[in-house]
Every structure is written in structure tokens, then in C-alpha cells.
């Protein structure tokens, strides 16, 4: 179905969508807050007829959801805002969109702060924490532990192909935390020195699976083998109501150029490059999810989803995602 109002989406909103797609804006929490901000901007800049607003803002929501498929915080942010204007029209809907967008950003930042506070208490003197990729939630948690005066150090993976681990290393070093930067493939060999693994999350499913940066599941298995507890630090907005309703998590495949030099690839046309951005860790390897609601065991994920989003939200989200799929054909 052609999208009739696409042309009127403000430039600034389309830029945010593009920045999410190209990962200039990245990290599941930041992506969600940026999507909420984009909805606020779209509502503030709307100049069309009042009766066209609801359709317009849904189109903006769908445009944002289409940018990256894996982190559920993105559709959760869009759904949070859109569900609050359900049944409203015109100016009332426009004002409520702005209010809901601001409220979402506020809640998300408060959750981040709270989970960092809760998680920081898990870090003890003498700990050697391993982390993967760059997660704002993990960095905040470690910074809080440091502020509390806990004496610990961190091993962090470089995280190929996009090297988000370098951001983690810089931020931890700036906070006075001792960091050892390792290649992704060194994880198992350093595991005997590690006392805790703490990674972020892009999506947590209702049955307690963790979807996170590719390589996470290998780390979880290596930690399990060595008897090292494995945690994921995640705001509850990364729990997936759609998975509760039977929806699958789509693992994003990114371009070959992120993995190999295009010139190298040009001369080797028969080489197939695969670049999945995320993988899935089974609940049995996960000690707990550090959330703003406390430390949650994987088997309790469905309770969190029910509590935070309600029973019907999964079906409603799936409907929105299905509409999105129709539009993209
Ligand atoms: P915060 C990142 O994905 C990583 O997988 C990280 O663990 C996750 O987002 C959560 O990040 P990407 O956007 O919300 O780099 O904790 O592909 O920042």
C-alpha cells in the first residue's frame, strides 16, 4: 500500500530515522529515546489538517520502526506514544503525542539510572567484570560502582565489525576504571580471570531469552563453562510484548562492507559474507536481568511483560508491525 503522507514527514525526523539506520544513533535505549524525540518533533511540526494527524503520526511511527528490526525498545517506544492517542483526533492527539513522547524519555532515563544503581551493588571489591559491545546501561552501572568506591577492573571486547567496544573502553577509562581491551576471540582464554560478566540487551523475550550483540551467546556459554555468573543490564522497555504473543525476533543482517573492505570483496566475487548483528542467548546461561525493577530471573520475564505492558499489548504491537510489513512491499 503506498504511503500517502510520507512526503510531509519533517526533514529532521527523517534524519533521525536515517541516523538510527546507519547507526550514527545506536544502543537500544538511545534508539528508543531518539524515536520518542522524533515523534515529538513530528507532532510539533505538523501543519496539516487536524483530521489527518492520527494517520500522519502512525506513518512517522512506522517509518521509525522500519529503521532497525531487532531492538524491541524501538517499537516499544513508538507503541508507548501511539497507544496513548488511541481514539483521539486532531489537536488533542497532537498535544498528547508530545506529552507521551516526553514522558517516555523521562521514564527511560529514570529506569536507566535506577538499574545502574541496583546493578552497581552487584559489583564487589576485587571483581573482574567482562563486558561486550557498548551498552549505556552497563557503563552507567560500572560508573556508579566506581563512584561508590568499589575497587574492580573490566575486560572489554573490541566487538567486531563496528568496534563499539572502543567506545566502552574510552568511557570507562574516562571514569577512572581500569580496562583491558581484548579481541572477541580472546573471551574464552581470559574467562578464568573473570568473576562476573555483565552485558546489555536489545530484546528480552517472554521466555527469558536474551537478544544482544552478536558474540554474546558465545560469551555466555564460556562463562557457564567456567562457573562465572552472567548478567544482562536492561531497562524493562527492552522486554518484548510481541514475543509474548508469539512474534519472532528478527536478527538484523548488516552489509558485507562492515566486515571486509569493499575493494577486497570486489576481487573475490564468490566469497559470501554474512554479518548478523545480534545473537540469542538461552535463559539457562543467564543468572539474571538487572532492571529498574530489581534483579529478574529469566523465568520471570513474562511477568515483567504482563506487568509493564499489559496482556493485549503484544497483539497490538504485532498488528502495527504487520502494517509496517505491508507498507514496505
Ligand atoms: P544500551 C547495542 O546494539 C548492543 O547490542 C548493546 O548491548 C545494546 O545495544 C544495548 O545498549 P547496537 O545498537 O541500551 O550497537 O544499554 O547494534 O546502550
Please give the pLDDT value at position 329: 42
Query: Is the C-beta atom of 135 inside 6 A of ligand 1?
Result: yes
- pTM, two decimal places: 0.92
How far CA 127 is from CA of 123, 229, 320, in Å, comes to 7, 12, 44
- Ordered mean pLDDT values, 10 residues apiece, the chain (329 residues): 59 98 97 98 96 95 95 94 93 97 97 98 98 98 98 98 98 98 98 98 96 98 98 96 82 95 88 96 98 96 84 65 56
Please give the pLDDT value at position 320: 65
Atom 4 (ligand 1) nearest CA: 213
Residues facing residue 231 across a β-bridge: 198, 288
Tell me whether residue 235 is exposed, middle or buried, using C-beta atoms within 10 angstroms of its C-beta: 0 to 12, 13 to 18, 19 or more: buried
Please give the pLDDT value at position 2: 41
Residues 240-252 pLDDT 10s:
988 877 778 999 9
Domain boundaries, the chain: 11-111, 121-309
Q: How far is the CA of 139 from the centre of ligand 1 (A)?
A: 11
Helix (H) or strand (E) holding 17: helix 11-21
Kindly indicate whether the domain formed by 11-111 is annotated with CATH number 1.20.120.420.
yes
Please give the pLDDT value at position 4: 47
Dihedral sign for Cα 79, 83, 86, 89, please. Answer: negative
How far out from the chain centre does Cα 263 lie?
32
Please give the pLDDT value at position 1: 40
Please give the pLDDT value at position 135: 98
The whole-angstrom separation of Cα 199 and Cα 31 is 17
Cβ(277)–Cβ(253) under 8 Å?
yes
* CATH code that applies to domain 121-309: 3.40.50.10470
Query: Is the C-beta atom of 133 inside 6 A of ligand 1?
Result: yes
Q: How far is the CA of 252 from the centre of ligand 1 (A)?
A: 13
* Catalytic residue, candidates 19, 113, 202, 282: 202
Q: Do domains 11-111 and 121-309 have the same CATH topology?
A: no
The whole-angstrom separation of Cα 58 and Cα 79 is 10
SS3 assignment, position 152 = coil
SS3 assignment, position 167 = helix
| Structure-block grid coordinates of residue 139 | 557503563
* Catalytic residue, candidates 106, 113, 125, 133: 133
133: left (phi over 0), alpha (psi -120 to 50) or beta: left
Order of strands across the sheet that contains 210-213: 203-204, 210-213, 278-281
Q: How far is the CA of 268 from the centre of ligand 1 (A)?
A: 32
Tell me whether residue 264 is exposed, middle or buried, using C-beta atoms within 10 angstroms of its C-beta: 0 to 12, 13 to 18, 19 or more: exposed
Please give the pLDDT value at position 326: 58
Query: SS3 string of 246-276?
Result: CCCCCCCECCHHHCCCHHHHHCCCCCCCCCE
Cβ(157)–Cβ(222) under 8 Å?
no
Cβ(57)–Cβ(98) under 8 Å?
no
Count how many Cα atoms sit within 13 Å of the Cα of residue 304 in the half-sphere of its side chain.
26
Residues facing residue 166 across a β-bridge: none
Amino acid at each position: 500500500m503506498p504511503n500517502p503522507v510520507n512526503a510531509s514527514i519533517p526533514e529532521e525526523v527523517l534524519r533521525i530515522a536515517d541516523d538510527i539506520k546507519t547507526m550514527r544513533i545506536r544502543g537500544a535505549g538511545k534508539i528508543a529515546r531518539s524515536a520518542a524525540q522524533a515523534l515529538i518533533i513530528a507532532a510539533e511540526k505538523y501543519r496539516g489538517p487536524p483530521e489527518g494527524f492520527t494517520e500522519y503520526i502512525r506513518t512517522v511511527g512506522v517509518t521509525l520502526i522500519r529503521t532497525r528490526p531487532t531492538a524491541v525498545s524501538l517499537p516499544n517506544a513508538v507503541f508507548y506514544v501511539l497507544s496513548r492517542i488511541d481514539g483521539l483526533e486532531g489537536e488533542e492527539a497532537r498535544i498528547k503525542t508530545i506529552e507521551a513522547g516526553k514522558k517516555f524519555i523521562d521514564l527511560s532515563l529514570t529506569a536507566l539510572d535506577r538499574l545502574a544503581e541496583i546493578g552497581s551493588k552487584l559489583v564487589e571489591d576485587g571483581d573482574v567484570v567482562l563486558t561486550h559491545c557498548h551498552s549505556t546501561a552497563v557503563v552507567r552501572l560500572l560508573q556508579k560502582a566506581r563512584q561508590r568506591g568499589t575497587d574492580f577492573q573490566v575486560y572489554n571486547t573490541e566487538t567486531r565489525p563496528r568496534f563499539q567496544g572502543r567506545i566502552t573502553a574510552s568511557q570507562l577509562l574516562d571514569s577512572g576504571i581500569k580496562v583491558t581491551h581484548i579481541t572477541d576471540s580472546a573471551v574464552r582464554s581470559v574467562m578464568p580471570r573473570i568473576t562476573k560478566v555483565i552485558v546489555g540487551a536489545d530484546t528480552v523475550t517472554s521466555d527469558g531469552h536474551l537478544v544482544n550483540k552478536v558474540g554474546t551467546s558465545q560469551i555466555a556459554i564460556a562463562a557457564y563453562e567456567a562457573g562465572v555468573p552472567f548478567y544482562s543490564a536492561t531497562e524493562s522497555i527492552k522486554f518484548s510484548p510481541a514475543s509474548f504473543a508469539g512474534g519472532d525476533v528478527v536478527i538484523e543482517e548488516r552489509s558485507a562492507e562492515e566486515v571486509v573492505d569493499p575493494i577486497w570483496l570486489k576481487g573475490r566475487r564468490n566469497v559470501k559474507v554474512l554479518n548478523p548483528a545480534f545473537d540469542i542467548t538461552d535463559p539457562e546461561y543467564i543468572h539474571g536481568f538487572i532492571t529498574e525493577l530489581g534483579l529478574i530471573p529469566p523465568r520471570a520475564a513474562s511477568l515483567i511483560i504482563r506487568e509493564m505492558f499489559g496482556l493485549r499489548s503484544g497483539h497490538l504491537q504485532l498488528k502495527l508491525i504487520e502494517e509496517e510489513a505491508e507498507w514496505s512491499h
